[in-house]
Amino acid sequence: MPYNGLYARSGLLASIIERRLSLHQCLAQKEEENRALKSQSMQLQALANLGSATCMIAHEINNLLTPLANYAALAAQNPDDKKLAEKVLDKTVRNCQRASKIMQSMLAMANGQKQKRETVSVKALVEEVFTCLCRDFGKDGIRVEIRVDDALEVSCVPVQIEQVLMNLILNARDAMLPGGGALRVSAVADTDHIDLVVSDTGCGITPENLKNIFRPFFTTKTGKDRPAGSDSGSGVGLAFCRRIVDAHGGEITVQSQSGQGSTFTIRLLRVPPLDPR
Ligand SMILES: Nc1ncnc2c1ncn2[C@@H]1O[C@H](COP(=O)(O)OP(=O)(O)OP(=O)(O)O)[C@@H](O)[C@H]1O
Ligand SMILES: [Mg+2]
């Protein structure tokens, strides 16, 4: 091989080796950057989870405490009504216990911790929600009908599904103010699923709003058009309901028409009755 050719080849080899080395360095640097970005993104995700847990907790605790404060104020105005005072104390104890359970459960959910599911009676879930609600529906002209078979059981994190039911029931009540109407909570089962259904005869939802109701912070409950005594909405109730039901591997759906009431259905896995054989 002529001297020049050999020289040219070894020069080429050297430049290939140099290029490889620089590519290795570049790769190592990119890997380091990638690691740093991943850790940053995990920290941001943890912060986002914490933010959403805080928002959920504030929303749910507000659902419990606002009516309780009104109820306690009523008792304070009627100091001689011992029965009322007893009821207020009973609700206070229950709702405080419930608030503590909600906080634990929502924080665990935000941390991505798997929570223990329990097999519970559907009727007990529904009754617990009505026990925590302070204002009597009858006083707002709302007739309540509960149609749930005693034997139906579902596998869930009870405090979470109770929160879903509470949000749906509070929305139904809002939709029927101030005129009143009928609220029905029922459960229908097939072999594998239970459908928990909350329906009302309230104002219904326009097709335009129906597309948005599960979006966080979407609300139509703004101050000026609200019936006297009702609060404005924060628009997070249904977004949380969907998140909870999704975490249970279930599904939440809605059927509604403007002026014709609304029906929300939560589909969950059923616990089948024991085979008597
Ligand atoms: N049963 C219902 N009847 C009519 N409209 C409803 C019903 N349920 C929900 N909506 C509509 O969906 C919107 C979003 O509901 P969501 O529960 O998420 O928020 P909100 O009730 O406005 O406020 P909050 O966060 O305090 O619950 C409501 O503002 C309302 O327009
Ligand atoms: Mg709501």
pLDDT of residue 78: 94
Query: Buried b / exposed e across 108-134, counting CB within 10 Å, b at 16+?
Result: bbbeeeeeebeebbbbebbebbeebbb
pLDDT of residue 8: 80
pLDDT of residue 274: 62
Range name among 30-34, 64-68, 264-268 with the lowest pLDDT average: 64-68
pLDDT of residue 132: 85
Probe residue for ligand 1, chosen from 60, 171, 210, 266 as the CB with the greatest number of ligand atoms within 8 Å: 171
Minimum CA distance residue for ligand 1 atom 4? 204
Residue 252 backbone phi and psi in degrees, to 5: -120, 130
**Is residue 154 a contact partner of residue 165, using CB atoms and an 8 Å limit?**
no
- In this predicted structure, the answer to whether residue 276 has a pLDDT above a threshold of 60 is no
Pocket of ligand 1 (CB under 6 A): 59, 167, 171-172, 175, 200, 202-205, 209, 213, 218-221, 233-239, 262
Instruction: For residue 233, report the distance from its CA to the centre of ligand 2, in Å.
Output: 6
* 73-99 pLDDT, tens digit each: 999 999 999 999 999 999 899 889 989
Instruction: For residue 60, report the distance from its CA to the centre of ligand 1, in Å.
Output: 14
* 13-41 pLDDT, tens digit each: 889 999 999 999 999 999 999 999 999 99
Cα separation, 19 vs 16, in Å, equals 5
pLDDT of residue 131: 87
CA distances from 17 to 11, 24, 31 (A): 10, 10, 21
pLDDT of residue 12: 87
pLDDT of residue 171: 96
Greater model confidence, 63 or 255:
255
Greater model confidence, 48 or 189:
189
Please identify every residue whose CB atom is under 5 Å from ligand 2, which is an ion.
Answer: 171, 237
> Encoding tokens for residue 134?
């302070």
Query: Buried b / exposed e across 145-173, counting CB within 10 Å, b at 16+?
Result: eeebeeebbbebbbbbbbbbbbbbbbbbb
pLDDT of residue 210: 96
Probe residue for ligand 1, chosen from 238, 252, 256 as the CB with the greatest number of ligand atoms within 8 Å: 238
Instruction: For residue 235, report the distance from its CA to the centre of ligand 2, in Å.
Output: 6
> Encoding tokens for residue 187?
């459960």
| CATH 3.50.50.60 describes domain 116-269 | no
Q: Is the alpha carbon torsion for 10, 13, 17, 18 positive or negative?
A: positive
| Mean pLDDT of all residues in 172-185 | 96
Mean pLDDT score of the chain: 89
Longest dimension (CA), the chain: 117
- In this predicted structure, the answer to whether residue 175 has a pLDDT above a threshold of 70 is yes
pLDDT of residue 135: 80
Structural domain boundaries in the chain: 116-269
pLDDT-derived band at 229, boundaries 50, 70, 90:
low
Probe residue for ligand 1, chosen from 55, 166, 213 as the CB with the greatest number of ligand atoms within 8 Å: 213
pLDDT of residue 108: 85
